[in-house]
């Protein structure tokens, strides 16, 4: 079995891979380009597949304590009237639940697990050069150091530099036509589950992220891919929220500064099979960056890390293990990326019922074991 691995990128995918590899006896170094290893302060929805992966990683209890985990869902009209109330399930399994958490809190849970496992973390460093043969990968780093590893895991996100180095000709991430607005606010007790608002000009939902906070996500059709600066963020988001009732007006009133708002144009990328070359493998957004429509990007990134370690533990031959990894991962990632993009397209065409049907059907498919 491999004895050493370098994980490039300490997001959900990289940290899950690092923890899982360490637990099968691999010496793991993890580097992240960000000297402060920060994540931006938005909420993230955690669907059943993320919860199941976090359970396998042993951090589900912490997610329950510091985030919000529940089941059931509430549908509202744009005015805020309740259309449907799907009750919570009794004694649900993690895969049957969902919830949300603040990204910095999820990062803190994962990064403290990385540190407590004894993984060697170096921040503010990137890979400068790579060369490999059948025994492993020689890496030089931007801090002037160099090392040989049996395996390199590229988990450096949608704009992956490791992908650029090993697959320079693959298409770049593509803009979908939608932008995603996110806002965190105090949570009133009555917002006790995911709430979706139907029938509006934009797609809006609210998810609890802790005992007293919630976050709103709002998807807007922005074909010209505009940039919003400073005050424009505030005025534009307030305009988009104005027609909505329910919990939205209080959230809207809470907006006082651009720093509260996170806006991202949506992009996607699906690297063709294989995601590896020799002893270098890509996982997470570096291989399959998705839009948030199925709220499953973090879940499949975490699954990648778990499956990679499982297959490396199963077979001493790295080439066999990486092939087996691909066989378990490609179709699943394709389902998430392609259906997420398609749901966005249907939303942009104004076909809300069709987009909800596809969302429900895909969520059902994803319940299958990873
Ligand atoms: C607007 C939006 C909303 C989303 N909402 C959800 C949601 O609700 N639920 C969900 O499950 N998913 C959601 N996603 C998707 C999810 O955020 C990603 O799929 C997930 O974070 C991917 O994790 P990752 O570890 O692969 O990459 P990342 O989280 O991007 O981590 C990459 C890491 O690599 C580091 N890095 C970058 N370049 C280098 C380099 N050259 N060298 C070293 N380190 C480097 C970065 O600093 C970072 O720490 C959303 C995505 C978007 C765009």
pLDDT per residue over 59-100, tens digit each? 999 999 999 999 999 999 999 999 999 998 999 999 999 999
Do the domain assignments include residue 315?
yes
* pLDDT in the model for residue 10: 98
In a domain, 285, yes or no: yes
For residue 41, the model assigns a pLDDT of: 87
- Residue range 171-191: average pLDDT? 97
Count of C-beta atoms within a 10 Å radius of residue 3: 11
Measure 90 CA to ligand 1 centroid, in angstroms: 33
Question: Which tens digits make up the pLDDT trace of 336-345?
Answer: 999 999 999 9
User: Does position 48 have pLDDT exceeding 90, yes or no?
Assistant: yes
Question: Mutation test of ligand 1: which of 6, 15, 19, 32 has the most ligand atoms closer than 8 Å to its C-beta?
Answer: 32
Please state, rounded to an integer, the average pLDDT across all residues of the chain.
Answer: 97
* End-to-end Cα spacing for the chain: 23
The answer for residues whose C-beta is within 8 angstroms of residue 252's C-beta and 6 or more apart is 238, 241, 242, 244
Residue 155 is predicted with a pLDDT of 99
Question: Residue 11's pLDDT is what?
Answer: 98
* Within-domain flag for 341: yes
343 occurs within a structural domain: yes
> Is residue 315 very low, low, confident or very high in pLDDT (cuts 50, 70, 90)?
confident
pLDDT at 1: 86
Q: Which atom of ligand 1 is nearest to the CA of 295?
A: 9
Q: Once rounded to an integer, what is the mean pLDDT over residues 138-159? A: 98
**Is 120 inside any structural domain?**
yes
- pLDDT-above-90 percentage for the chain: 96
For the record, the structure tokens of 34 come out as 């960000």
Shortest-distance Cα residue to atom 12 of ligand 1: 297
Q: What is the mean pLDDT of residues 362-369?
A: 95
Q: Of 38-42, 112-116, 208-212, 225-229, which range is least confident?
A: 38-42
Read off the pLDDT of each residue in 130-145 and give the average, rounded to a whole number: 97
Distances (CA, A) of 175 to 67, 171, 322, 359, 360: 30, 12, 30, 20, 24
Buried residues in 63-80 as b, exposed as e (16+ CB within 10 A)? bbebbbbbbebbbbebee
Q: Please state the rounded mean pLDDT for residues 311-320.
A: 95
CATH of the domain at 297: 3.50.50.60
Asked if residue 269 has pLDDT above 90, the reply is yes
CA 77 to ligand 1 centroid distance, Å: 32
Structural domain contains residue 18 = yes
| Domain containing residue 29 | 4-68+103-173+268-351+362-366
> Which of 11, 41, 181 best tests ligand 1's pocket when mutated (most atoms within 8 Å of CB)?
11
Is the per-residue pLDDT at 251 higher than 90?
A: yes
- Could you give phi then psi for residue 61, rounded to 5 degrees? -60, -40
Residues written for the chain: 370
Q: How many domains does the chain have?
A: 1
Residues with CB under 6 A from ligand 1: 8-14, 31-34, 44-45, 50, 126, 155-157, 161, 180, 264, 284-285, 290, 292, 295-299, 301
Q: How far is the CA of 157 from the centre of ligand 1 (A)?
A: 5
Within-domain flag for 231 = no
Residue 139 Ramachandran class (φ > 0 left, ψ -120 to 50 alpha, else beta): beta
Query: Can you say how many angstroms the Cα of residue 327 is from the centroid of all Cα atoms in its chain?
Result: 21
Q: Is 123 domain-assigned?
A: yes
């Amino acid at each position: 079995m491999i004895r050493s691995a370098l994980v490039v990128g300490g997001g959900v995918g990289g940290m899950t891979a690092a923890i899982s590899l360490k637990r099968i006896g691999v010496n793991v170094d993890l580097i992240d380009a960000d000297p402060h290893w920060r994540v931006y302060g938005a909420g993230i929805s955690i669907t059943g597949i993320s919860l199941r992966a976090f359970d396998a990683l042993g951090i589900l209890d912490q997610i329950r304590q510091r985030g919000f985990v529940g089941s059931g869902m509430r549908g509202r009209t744009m005015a805020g009237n309740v259309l449907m109330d799907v009750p919570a399930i009794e004694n649900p399994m993690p895969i049957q639940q969902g919830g949300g958490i603040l990204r910095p809190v999820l990062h803190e849970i994962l990064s403290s697990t990385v540190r407590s496992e004894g993984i060697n973390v170096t921040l503010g460093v990137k890979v400068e050069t790579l060369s490999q043969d059948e025994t492993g990968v020689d890496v030089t780093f931007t801090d002037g150091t160099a090392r040989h590893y049996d395996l390199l895991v590229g988990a450096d996100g949608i704009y992956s530099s490791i992908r650029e180095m090993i697959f320079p000709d693959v298409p770049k991430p593509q803009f979908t036509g939608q932008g995603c607005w996110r806002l965190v606010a105090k949570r009133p007790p009555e917002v006790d589950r995911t709430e979706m608002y139907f029938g509006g000009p934009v797609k809006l939902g609210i998810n609890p992220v802790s005992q007293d906070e919630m976050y709103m996500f709002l998807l807007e059709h922005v074909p010209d891919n505009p940039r919003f600066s400073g005050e424009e963020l505030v005025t534009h988001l307030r305009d988009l929220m104005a027609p909505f009732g329910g919990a939205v007006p209080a959230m809207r009133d809470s907006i006082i500064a651009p720093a509260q708002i996170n806006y991202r144009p949506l992009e996607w990328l699906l690297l063709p099979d294989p995601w590896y070359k020799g002893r270098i493998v890509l996982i997470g957004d570096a291989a399959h960056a998705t839009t948030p429509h199925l709220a499953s990007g973090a879940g499949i990134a975490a699954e990648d890390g778990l499956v990679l370690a499982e297959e490396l533990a199963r077979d001493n031959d790295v080439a066999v293990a990486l092939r087996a990894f691909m066989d378990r991962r490609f179709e699943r990632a394709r389902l998430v990326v392609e259906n997420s993009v398609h749901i966005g397209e249907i939303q942009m065409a104004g076909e809300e019922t069709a987009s909800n049907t596809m969302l429900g059907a895909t969520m059902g498919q994803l319940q299958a074991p990873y």
